[in-house]
Structure 1
Amino acid sequence: MDQTALFQKLVAFTSAVYQVKCDLTKGVKSDEITPLQYSILEYIAVSQPVTPSQISDCMHVSMPNTSRELKKLTAKNLCGRFTAADDRRKQYIRLSPEGQALMNESFQQIEARFRQRIKDMSEEELAEISHAFDVLHTKVFHPRT
């Protein structure tokens, strides 16, 4: 297979994924947090526990800005820090119960929009999509090294 053509498909696919994510999450965030804070909470929710540097790398935000946003989220009682048991120098971030409740509510809204998007698909089409997600997850997004 032509790897350049495959790469172009990846670019088109990731662009489409970004657009779908925007459509599904539009207007979902709480008025109490900024879009960046919502993105940070979303990342923590699906990847926790995470380090501040992982958040910084993933969000493309400097460490000082990441620390500032985490302080704001901690002050709003949406997340908290804890120290790694094996290395007291390492700090992890996890959602607080309030942060988890906020993200659960957001994910419920997103799920309702997703269900609306797939409502007319057959069981066979849904099975194909599920299989495609599994393949992408194992082979492209989280390949074993």
Structure 2
Amino acid sequence: MDNNSLFNNFVLFTTSFHRVTHEFTKDAKSDLVSQIQYKILEYIAVSQPVTPSDINDCMNMSMPNTSRELKKLSEKNLIEKIHDKDDRRKQYIRLSKEGKAMMNESFAIIESRFLERVKDLSKEDLDEIEHAINIFQTKLFNE
């Protein structure tokens, strides 16, 4: 396979991935948060603790927008800000107890949709999917 063909397959894969991700996450978020706030919470849940700059980079947001959304999430008691003990200017963000509970509910909905999608696959198919995910994670997505 040449690089152009590999790239075209990658584009097709990422398009399909986004579509399926949307199907899995549709209506899984709490009505207490906006879509962007949910995406921030989701990122924090799988990467915590994170800095506001991490969120800014991952979400492709401006720093003022990131700060505003973090303030809203903090006011809703969904996140906690922790100051670095060595550098008080540096902040880390993690989910609060309420934020963890909200994200656990969302992830439970997403998990049930995922399990429904793969319920008829054989053990071998599931092993292949897990292997493929591991390859993507180690070869392409790790920095």
Q: Which amino acid aligns with 2:50?
A: V
| Greater RCO, 1 or 2 (C-alpha within 8 Å, sep 6+) | 2
Q: Look up the SS of the partner of 1:66 in the other structure.
A: helix
Q: In the TM superposition, what is the alpha-carbon distance from 1:131 to its structure 2 partner? A: 0.5
Query: TM-score, normalized by length of structure 1?
Result: 0.95
Q: Which amino acid aligns with 1:63?
A: M
In the other structure, the counterpart of 1:121 is 121
The alignment of Structure 1 onto Structure 2 pairs a total of residues equal to 143
Query: TM-score, normalized by length of structure 2?
Result: 0.96
In the other structure, the counterpart of 2:25 is 25
C-alpha distance in 2 between matches for 1:23 and 1:81: 32
Q: Which amino acid aligns with 1:125?
A: D
Q: How do residues 63-102 of structure 1 correspond to structure 2 at under 5 angstroms?
A: 63-102=63-102
C-alpha distance in 2 between matches for 1:83 and 1:13: 39
C-alpha distance in 1 between matches for 2:31 and 2:122: 37
Q: In the TM superposition, what is the alpha-carbon distance from 1:86 to its structure 2 partner? A: 3.1
In the other structure, the counterpart of 1:39 is 39
1:9 maps to 2:9 = yes
Deviations 1:43-97 (A, max 9, x none): 0001111111111111111110110000000000000111123322211110001
C-alpha distance in 2 between matches for 1:89 and 1:76: 23
Q: Which runs of 4+ in 1 moved over 3 A?
A: none
Question: Cα RMSD over matched residues?
Answer: 1.0
Deviations 1:18-63 (A, max 9, x none): 1111000000111111001000000000111111111111111111
Q: Look up the SS of the partner of 1:9 in the other structure.
A: helix
Q: Look up the SS of the partner of 2:23 in the other structure.
A: helix
Q: Which amino acid aligns with 1:56?
A: N
